[in-house]
Structure 1
Amino acid sequence: MSDAQTDPPRQRRERKQNADKRRRQVLDATYRSIVSNGLQRTTLATVAAEAGLSQGVAVFYFKSKKGLLSEALRDLYLIYEAHWQEAVEAAGDDPAAQLVALVKADFDPKICNPAILSVWFAFWGEQKFTPQYGEITREFDDNRQRAIQGICARMLPDDPEHAADVADWVDTLTDGYWQNLHLFPASYSNRRACNSTLRALAALMPEYRDQLTPAD
């Protein structure tokens, strides 16, 4: 019988909590290393140094640099997905309110800030060369696209083709502004990007202009 089977529940729980804490430390350190060193120069050693842990800890939990970076990207998407899903759920049942909440969630500084944008674009720039990154991205992008398509279909039930187009344009707008915020931070702000996106959606769906146009 293994130690895990013979240990009391409290001890097993504490061991899991410690393991989760170490994994979180390593993942957070990975993001900091990417910001400081770039994706290519991020290694198990640079991550361990950022985390203040031994390199052996990173190896124990993630086995290799490839495994660590793939898990870091998945973790980044999980945090992002939980954030926008929570925003949509808090908006209630009205689809226009849900769309506004989803757009605002994309430009929340907790999710959209210079450091995090650097990490996103570092991973996206490597998708062509690292199939695992593309697979992870498609999985989470598909989840989000289905949610946006559902919202737009409810907003435009009599025009499914236009609803599908608007669903595509939502991410085209937000992705474009993320790029502008990343490349030209002095020229763009989160608030400007968010409000411009909402004004564009209001123009695309004039029947919802009052609900989509930002207050200021």
Structure 2
Amino acid sequence: MAGLSHGLVNFHFQSKDKLLTETLLYLAEEYRLNWTGALEAAGPDPVARLDAMLRADFEPAICTPSRLSAWCAFWGEAQCRPMYQEQCGSNDEAYIAVMESICARMIAAGDGSGDPARIARVLRVTIEGVWLDLMTMTKPYGRDEALGTVYTCAAAFFPGRFTAAGLRA
């Protein structure tokens, strides 16, 4: 909306709710295409797929102050919660299912132990927590440090495959 008149925005979107919905739909589709594209490029290996999913959330096109701010606003606005669930619930479910499947495959291959659903949840909330950190800290750290934090979490569950710097060589 920067640089646009309120009248022009209202003419195009008809209401604030419509603007919020369209913004959410755009961000959700951009995010979905980003992580599914990363998975496609990673191939079938579960370790490469987990690495791709972790890195995807910190790609320069996705991890920007304006996008993170928009996501945090949607997560934090109580009135947006039903709209978020309606518009993004299936995307979230797909992301969670893929992450859980990857963790299950890694555990089955002997790369770690534990409950794959809980491990996937811890990885996901670590990513979301780092995003929140980047939005709320007075002097936020950069994307590389953010990804290093997430890799540290992955290394706790899959120490033979990940380090704080990324994939184990």
TM-score (norm 1): 0.67
Residue 214 of structure 1 corresponds to which residue in structure 2? 166
Identity %: 33
Q: 1:49-128, aligned counterparts within 5 Å?
A: 55-56=10-11, 58=12, 62-126=13-77, 128=78
Residue 179 of structure 1 corresponds to which residue in structure 2? 132
User: C-alpha separation between the residues in 2 aligned to 1:215 and 1:205?
Assistant: 10
Higher relative contact order (CA 8 A, sep 6+): 2
Larger Cα-atom Rg = 1
User: C-alpha separation between the residues in 2 aligned to 1:160 and 1:203?
Assistant: 10
User: C-alpha separation between the residues in 1 aligned to 2:143 and 2:50?
Assistant: 17
- C-alpha root-mean-square deviation of aligned residues, in Å? 2.7
1:129 has 2:89 as partner: no
User: C-alpha separation between the residues in 2 aligned to 1:87 and 1:73?
Assistant: 21
Cα distance 1:104–1:205, how it changes in 2: closer, same or farther (>3 A)?
A: same
Moved segments of 4+, more than 6 Å: none
Cα distance 1:75–1:137, how it changes in 2: closer, same or farther (>3 A)?
A: same
Q: Which ranges of structure 1 fall in alignment gaps of 5 or more residues?
A: 1-28, 34-43, 50-54
Cα displacement (A) at 1:67: 2.2
Could you tell me whether the CA contact under 8 Å between 1:170 and 1:201 is conserved in 2?
Answer: yes
Could you tell me whether the CA contact under 8 Å between 2:148 and 2:166 is conserved in 1?
Answer: yes
State the aligned residue count.
Answer: 165
User: C-alpha separation between the residues in 1 aligned to 2:145 and 2:167?
Assistant: 12
Which is further off, 81-90 or 156-165? 156-165
Could you tell me whether the CA contact under 8 Å between 2:113 and 2:157 is conserved in 1?
Answer: no
1:165 has 2:125 as partner: no
TM-score (norm 2): 0.84
- Aligned AA for 1:175? E
- Aligned AA for 1:163? P
User: C-alpha separation between the residues in 1 aligned to 2:138 and 2:43?
Assistant: 33
The structure that is helix-richer by fraction is 1
